Amino acid sequence: VVVHEVIKPRLPVYRIQPLLGFPQVKWGLQDNQVWIGLPVSVSMHNDNFMEVDVYSLVFDMFYMDEEGSLLHLADISDHNQATSTAKGTKNNTTAKPEVLWQIPSRSNFTINDSLFMSMETTVFWNLILNPRFYASLWKGSGSFWLPTTGVAHVKAITKGKAGVPATLKIVCDNFIENMIVQGLSCILHDAGAGWSNISEASLSMRRHATTKLKANADGAVLYDGKVIENPKR
C-alpha cells in the first residue's frame, strides 16, 4: 500500500510567496553559476493518507517562444542542493541531507524557507524582448503563466514506519501574480522506487520540456496535447 501511494501520489496544489529579507548568494563550483537564495513562504495541502517527507527538490522554469516551444529560463533548488553545489560536492544516491519538509497527511502545510535560483541570462533577455510575453502580461492584467518541470526525492511515512524512498518527476502549470507563484495543476510524469541522481533526472526533464512540450496561446503547458488539469478528488 505504501509503495502504491508513493508511486501514485495525489500531487498537491502549492503556493509560493516571497518574504521580506536579504537574498543569499552562492557560487556553484560545479556549474559555475551564481545561485540567489530568496526567502519564501511555501504552503500546500497534502491530500494523501500519509506524511510525505521531502529531502531534495530541483525545478526548471520555462517560458514559451513565439512558436509556443518552451525555453529554459532558470533552475530552482532547495538550500541543501545549492549548498552542495557551492561546496563542490557531488550529488549521489547514498549520502542524503536532512529532511527539508515534513508534510503531514490530510493536512495543510506551511513553511518559511529559502529557494535558490540560477537564471539563464541569454534566455532572460530573450524573454524581455519577446512580444508574446507582454501580450500575456496585458491579457492577464500583469500576471502570466510560467510552466515548470521538477524532480523530488521523497519518503512516505505511515503509522510511524520507515519511509519508502522514491523519485518523483512532475510537470506543472504555474500562474504568477504580484510575485506570488500559484501552482495551478501538476501531473506525475514518472516515478520510481529509490533515489536516482537528481541532477541527471532534472536534465532529462528539461530535455523533455524543450523537445516534447508546447504551450498554448496563454502560455499554459500542453502535455500530450492537452492543458494539464488536476484530477478531481
Residue 5, CB-side half-sphere exposure with 13 Å CA sphere:
17
pLDDT of residue 7: 46
> How many other β-carbons are positioned within 10 Å of the β-carbon of residue 114?
16
> How many other β-carbons are positioned within 10 Å of the β-carbon of residue 229?
11
Local mean pLDDT, 10-residue blocks, the chain (233 residues): 48 89 75 82 91 92 80 85 56 63 93 87 66 67 82 86 87 88 89 92 94 72 57 39
pLDDT of residue 231: 41
